[in-house]
Amino acid sequence: MLKKVIYILYVLIIVCLGSATIIEKYHGTMFVSSYIYGSWWMCVLWALLVGAGVFYILKRRVRRLSMITLHLAFIVILIGAFLTHLTSKNGLVHLRKGESVHTYECQSSSGETSISPLPFSIRLDEFSIKKHAGTDAAEDYISRFTIHTSETDSVQGEVSMNHIYSHHNTRLYQASYDEDGEGSYLTLNSDPYGIPVTYIGYALLFIGLLWILVDPKGKYRVIIRQLSSTPKTMLILLLYIMSTDLSSAAPVLSEDIAVTFGKLTMVYNDRVCPVQTYALDFTKKLYGKRRYNGYSAEQVLTGFMFWYDEWKKERIIKVKNSSVCERLGIGSYCSIDDLFKGGYLLGPYMMEYYNGLSDKFHEGIGKLDEKVGLIMDIRTFAPLKVFPYTHNGETSWYSPTDSYPPYLNAERKAYMQNIFVLLKESVRKHKEDEVSDVLSRLKKYQYTYGGNSIPSSARLTAEYLYNDIPFATVLFMLNLTMGLLGLFYIIWQISRRSNKSSTHSIISSKGVKPTISVILQFIIMLLSFIGLTTCLILRWVIRGTIPMSNGYETMLVMAWMIMLVAILLYRRFQIILTFGFLLSGFFLLVSHISQMDPQITHLMPVLSSPLLTIHVSIIMMAYALLSLTFICGLTGVLIRLIRGRNASGVGEQLRSLQVLSQLFLYPSLTFLGFGIFIGAIWANVSWGSYWSWDPKETWALITLMVYAVAVHDNSIPSLRRPFVYHLFMTFAFLTILMTYFGVNYVLGGMHSYA
């Protein structure tokens, strides 16, 4: 009876948490904070679960200290959260330069704003925005202030993103600022009881999670001792042949001149980068590929710049929306001329779009209009911010059409405004020597006036190499193809064998040396891993920070970690190579075709923290390992469905896959627990609240709770049956998909950028 009560409470809490994230999308954060997360009945549910769990542990007479420490940690964390709920104070302080403030604004659970007194007065002395050299991208926001505790006692303080200021039990965080730069918003937090108790819980949690992995009498050590009976398989190699495009008759720069042009630098995406990077994005946005009819991206870009009348006839604009093609009478690829037949065909529909029509057709019209805008802009050279100028130690970059500051002399302005016009004349007259000379002088100009905003030669070289090789595209085709073939091969081999010894030879690695095909498969995996490692290193060098700041990069890191696990474990679990190819290929495919943006940009100031690297890398490792448990589960379910319940050797195969899955499950839970609560510490440092029930946080907790069920097979006997276990692990993967993709693209929240 007690176990049933725990089951019901556990499932009910998970359902409530998941439902709250959906309700929040439609009714707002304050609503769910008041009526769900912070409600009395939710507190009662947590309390009942804790009470029932404690009673159950006492009833079972659990004496293993690792298990006691781990479960005690969650109890202490919940107590800390309850103390925070009851005793913490949060609010917002609005400061104006030179003015003293004695109060702060706080918002009640009902959404009403009230004014509360500060324990001191605070005056803003200065607010500044630190920018990345040569760009308008913010690197940090800094507020400097003076705190007066009495008429005679005062202290000066400073806050910036990820750097807080503490005064006794009151902590101040940089939140926002006024548009005129004369004011700043600081978040105030006072939680003297909840934070220390919660941090004690975190410490116990970290100890407990590690302890269950190294406990000599723990279940994970039992799993390690069963490694000799784990599975293996053989794979087939397939080479993917990429097709080439036909040549085009549109005029272009020679390849050498186009490369020289691409090596100029410009401000794009709020960072200084090669023009080549902009050209690649320009071509991919128009055409969907890196090259057009055999021409490089630089040749396509300069084609529209210097031969617009000829290039406007090229059907280079990809139209993804079929209804747009039908109603406009154009093909899936169209030209500028196709859209300007007796006027701008998109014009009337764009007016409807601006007036609020946002169905799929009008959204398609809007996206098509954006592509037309790219071409129209490049005709005037407006996007090409290639002219740097340093004044009073600050470098700004300009395009030929920008408004120039008054300190620029007439000669300098004339150069910026006319150099591309002159370059166009030389290009159209086929005077390549003049073109080369102009580009050479422009590059010299950039280094003369660009100051320290010009990237180092190492960064530029890294970006040229990164731009030359479509790492994710090549690797997803290779890995996914090999993974699918390997999986089909396993299923085919299992389905055609009937006796126990023959089926065991397919999946057992005990005493079996790797075959030539397995060695070849390993070599390909190693080469793919080296390629992806190179890709990540190049992105790291280009931006100067570890590549884990957005969805595209975390997909790459997830694939990298899966391949690393496969390489390390393939001798003992040769089937892991199939899993490694399949999962890494899937994540690389997602990064390739989804809405994720591969463009390299500067980090948001709030992400410029060493805790970002730790938090994201640990979470990604957890997701990578849990993804492997999904493949184990899916393989087990397919084996059972194809061969049947009573077929010879099926039980042994499912049990072997279960052991392999559990080998990944325990460390993945450790990583996930570490990652979630390191993220909570980071949130406390950056935002003043270690847990805000953001949708991503909530679904990460749900994921932890769901997968934690799988390690409680002593309390849930049905999970000892391999098929039930694999079925559970297959469906549990839906929580990861919701955590990563559902939150990012449906629910939103603070973490929707990740």
So where are the chain's domains?
2-88, 90-190, 218-227+464-753, 272-454
Res. 298: pLDDT tops 90:
yes
Higher pLDDT, 570 or 567: 567
Beta strands per DSSP E along 253-331: 265-268, 271-274, 317-318
pLDDT at 233 over 60: no
Crossing angle between the packed helical segments 297-306 and 360-379, to the nearest 10 degrees = 70
Residue written as tokens 């290929």? Answer: 585
Give the residue from 635, 664, 654, 660 showing the smallest Cα distance to 723.
654
pLDDT for residue 264: 95
Q: Which of 28-37, 199-208, 254-263, 531-540 has the lowest mean pLDDT?
A: 28-37
150 vs 670, more confident: 670
Residue 617, exposed/middle/buried by CB under 10 A (0-12, 13-18, 19+)? middle
| 717-735 tens-digit pLDDT | 899 899 999 999 999 999 9
**Out of 272-286, 392-406, 511-525, which region has the weakest mean confidence (pLDDT)?**
511-525
The pairing of beta strand 170-177 with beta strand 183-190: antiparallel
Give the confidence band of 513 by pLDDT, cuts at 50, 70, 90: confident
Averaged pLDDT for residues 5-21: 92
Look at residue 136 and tell me whether its pLDDT is greater than 70: no
Confidence of residue 508 (pLDDT cuts 50, 70, 90): very low
**CA gap 407, 55 in Å, rounded:** 77
**Predicted confidence (pLDDT) per residue in 739-749, tens digit:** 877 776 677 55
Q: Token digits for 399? A: 């395009």
Helix (H) / strand (E) containing 129 = strand 113-131
| 3-state SS assignment for residue 99 | coil
Q: How far apart are the C-alpha atoms of 241 and 714, rounded to whole Å?
A: 51
Tell me the mean pLDDT in the region 287-308.
Answer: 92
Tokens in use for 206? Answer: 């970290």
522, 560, 571 from 564: Cα distances, Å: 11, 6, 13
State the pLDDT confidence band at 613, using cuts at 50, 70 and 90: low
Least confident interval from 23-27, 62-66, 708-712, 740-744: 740-744
Look at residue 235 and tell me whether its pLDDT is greater than 70: no
109 — pLDDT class (breaks 50, 70, 90): low
Checking if the pLDDT of 319 tops 70, the result is yes
Percent of the chain with pLDDT over 90: 30
Q: Which is it for the CA torsion 58, 64, 68, 71, positive or negative? A: negative
How many other C-beta atoms are found inside a 10 Å radius of the C-beta of residue 542?
Answer: 24
**111 pLDDT more than 80:** no
pLDDT band at 350 (very low <50, low <70, confident <90, very high): confident
Q: Are 585 and 481 in contact (CB under 8 A)?
A: yes
Going from the C-alpha of 612 to that of each of 90, 607, 674, 682, the distances in angstroms are: 24, 6, 13, 8
pLDDT at 549: 67
Predicted local confidence at residue 387, as pLDDT? 94
Tell how strand 113-131 and strand 100-107 pair up: antiparallel
Q: Does 291 have pLDDT greater than 50?
A: yes
**Per-residue model confidence (pLDDT) at position 436:** 92
Q: 509 vs 411, which has greater pLDDT? A: 411
242 pLDDT more than 50: no
Residue 88's identity, in one-letter code, is S
At residue 498, the pLDDT reads 45
Give the lowest-confidence range in 147-156, 423-432, 612-621.
612-621
Asked if 539 and 554 touch (Cβ cutoff 8 Å), the reply is no
**The tokens of 92 are what?**
């917002």
CB 531 within 8 A of CB 471: yes
CA gap 441, 20 in Å, rounded = 60
Over residues 359-401, the pLDDT tens digits come to 888 888 988 999 999 999 999 999 999 999 888 888 889 999 9
- Mean pLDDT over 162-171 rounds to 83
Whether the CA torsion 550, 24, 699, 109 is positive or negative: it is positive
Residue 411 three-state SS: helix
In 3D space, the residue among 527, 501, 736 whose CA is nearest the CA of residue 631 turns out to be: 736
Q: Within 10 A of 441 (CB to CB), how many other CB atoms are there?
A: 12
Higher pLDDT, 439 or 246: 439
Q: Which range among 4-18, 313-327, 502-516, 517-531 shows the weakest confidence by mean pLDDT?
A: 502-516
- Say yes or no to pLDDT of 135 above 50: yes
Cα 551 to Cα 193: distance, rounded to the nearest angstrom: 36
pLDDT at position 505 is 45
Give residue 165's pLDDT: 87
- Which of the four pLDDT bands, split at 50, 70 and 90, describes residue 574? confident
Percent of the chain with pLDDT over 70: 87
pLDDT digits (tens, 9 = 90+) for 168-222: 888 888 888 888 888 999 888 888 888 899 889 989 988 988 888 888 877 887 7
Please compute the mean of the pLDDT values over residues 453-479 and round it to a whole number.
Answer: 90
pLDDT-based confidence at residue 499 (cuts at 50, 70, 90): very low
Residue 262, pLDDT score: 94
Please determine, for residue 355, whether its predicted confidence score (pLDDT) is greater than 80.
Answer: no
Out of 168-182, 261-275, 547-561, least confident range: 547-561
Radius of gyration, alpha carbons of the chain: 30
- What is the rounded CA–CA span in Å between residue 137 and residue 393? 17
Cα 461 from chain centroid (whole Å)? 25
Of 248-252, 342-346, 395-399, the range with the highest mean pLDDT is 395-399
* 513 in Cβ contact with 625 (< 8 Å): no
Burial environment of residue 123 by CB neighbours within 10 A (0 to 12, 13 to 18, 19 or more): middle
What token pair was written down for 282?
A: 């320009």
- 378 versus 134: the higher-pLDDT residue is 378
pLDDT greater than 70 at residue 619: yes
State the pLDDT at residue 458: 92
CA neighbours closer than 13 Å in the CB half-sphere of residue 503: 20
Quote the pLDDT of residue 316: 94
Mean pLDDT of 499-519: 58
> What integer best gives the mean pLDDT of the chain?
83
The mean-pLDDT minimum among 337-346, 489-498, 517-526 falls in 489-498
**The pLDDT of residue 462:** 93
